[in-house]
């Protein structure tokens, strides 16, 4: 069976060669607490909202700390320390939403809709331009779902892109997050190419989403050691990081331009499996768009 390096699968290396990322590009990470003292974050710009005692990475072995630290590492750790670190020059804004003990559903941390809506608002208010939601959604009442939908509408109005995990239940379904038209849902593929059997698929994912590596992804562990992770949570940062690099290279691009470069809408897709992320092609598409606009 042929397997590929995750960065090769999504053609990220050419984009990573263009830029390390800009500190003016702020990634909002709504996740578990992050072990900011890990040596892999040395020199990185990692900011964190004032956390309650239950939201700090006090227990390195906890699911919440492992998850938050791993996703943060993929996005903004030093490239010398961690090969998949995508955007080390960007600013990472950590908004812990679940405690160090975590609350996981299908391997993806579980967030309550109203708490997630509040976290989205916090990140937008603090200047984030793209949000990474490597999480699942708890049961939502109608009012809670409406509150979350309005938070996502607010992100759309403010031009803040939202990238979200499709989930790891191995079913064909959408959530109140991935069904929202502004969200870019991400499902995970194996190193050999096809979607992981545990990854959720749906018409929303197929029409507006992307496929990215999610099998045996190396990232930081809160205990100081590198760890291997699988699932849609770890596919999302490939997309989020690519968006952050595009905005670093084209600071005057609009959210719509970046989104269209990432997920070109050449036709109405009927498939439930989305196209593979191609970061190099996204860069070329956005470069062409900017040339047309500035010509």
Alpha helical stretches, state H, the chain: 6-9, 13-18, 63-76, 113-125, 142-158, 203-208, 236-249, 255-262, 279-294
- Determine the Cα–Cα distance for residues 69 and 63; give it in Å rounded to an integer: 10
What pTM, to 2 d.p., does this model score? Answer: 0.93
Note the pLDDT tens digit of each residue in 13-70. Answer: 999 999 999 999 999 999 988 988 888 998 899 998 865 545 567 666 678 888 999 9
Instruction: Over range 154-174, report the average pLDDT.
Output: 95
% of the chain at pLDDT higher than 70:
88
Instruction: Over range 194-206, report the average pLDDT.
Output: 91
* Under 8 Å between Cβ of 73 and 40: yes
* Backbone φ, ψ for residue 215 (5° rounding): -115, 120
DSSP 204-260: HHHHH-EEEE-SSEEEE-TTSSEEEE-SGGGTHHHHHHHHHHHHHH-TT--HHHHHH
Higher-scoring residue by pLDDT: 133, 265? 133
Instruction: Over range 175-189, report the average pLDDT.
Output: 95
* Under 8 Å between Cβ of 205 and 139: no
Maximum average pLDDT range among 101-105, 112-116, 250-254: 250-254
The full set of domain ranges for the chain reads 6-294
Per-chain mean pLDDT for the chain:
88
Note the pLDDT tens digit of each residue in 118-153. Answer: 999 999 999 999 999 999 887 767 888 899 999 999
Does the structure show a pLDDT above 70 at 279?
A: yes
% of the chain at pLDDT higher than 90:
65
Q: Which CATH architecture describes the domain 6-294?
A: 3-Layer(aba) Sandwich (3.40)
Q: Residue 9 has what pLDDT? A: 94
CA distance to 138, 141, 172, 198, 273, per residue, from 204 (Å): 19, 21, 10, 17, 9
Higher-scoring residue by pLDDT: 285, 58? 285
Q: Residue 222 has what pLDDT? A: 80
Does the structure show a pLDDT above 60 at 267?
A: no
Does the structure show a pLDDT above 60 at 288?
A: yes
Does the structure show a pLDDT above 60 at 107?
A: no
**Kind of pairing between the strands at 91-96 and 45-48:** parallel
* Under 8 Å between Cβ of 195 and 170: no
- Determine the Cα–Cα distance for residues 277 and 186; give it in Å rounded to an integer: 9
Measured N-to-C along each axis, helices 236-249 and 279-294 cross at an angle, to the nearest 10 degrees, of 30
């Amino acid at each position: 069976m042929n397997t590929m390096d995750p960065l090769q699968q999504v053609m990220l290396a050419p984009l990573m060669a263009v830029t390390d990322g800009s500190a003016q590009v702020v990634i909002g990470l709504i996740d578990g607490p992050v072990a900011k003292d890990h040596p892999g974050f040395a020199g990185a710009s990692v900011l964190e909202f004032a956390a309650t005692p239950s939201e700090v990475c006090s227990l390195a072995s906890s699911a919440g700390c492992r998850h938050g630290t791993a996703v943060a590492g993929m996005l903004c750790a030093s490239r010398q320390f961690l090969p998949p670190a995508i955007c080390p020059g960007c600013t990472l804004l950590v908004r812990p939403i679940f405690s160090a003990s975590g609350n996981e559903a299908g391997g993806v941390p579980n967030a309550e809709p109203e708490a997630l809506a509040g976290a989205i608002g916090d990140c937008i208010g603090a200047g984030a331009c793209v949000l990474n939601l490597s999480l699942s959604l708890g049961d939502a009442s109608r009012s809670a779902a409406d509150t979350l939908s309005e938070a996502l509408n607010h992100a759309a109005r403010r031009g803040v892109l939202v990238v979200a995990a499709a989930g790891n239940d191995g079913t064909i379904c959408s959530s109140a997050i991935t069904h929202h038209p502004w969200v870019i849902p991400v499902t995970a593929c194996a190193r050999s190419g096809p979607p992981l059997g545990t990854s959720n698929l749906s018409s929303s994912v197929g029409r507006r989403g992307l496929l990215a590596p999610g099998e045996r992804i190396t990232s930081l562990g809160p205990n100081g050691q590198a760890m291997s992770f699988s699932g849609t949570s770890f596919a999302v940062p490939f997309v989020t990081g690519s968006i952050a690099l595009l905005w670093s290279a084209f600071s005057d691009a609009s959210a719509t331009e970046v989104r269209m470069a990432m997920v070109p809408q050449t036709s109405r897709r009927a498939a439930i499996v989305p196209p593979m992320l191609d970061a190099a092609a996204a860069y070329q598409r956005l470069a062409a768009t900017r040339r047309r606009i500035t010509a």
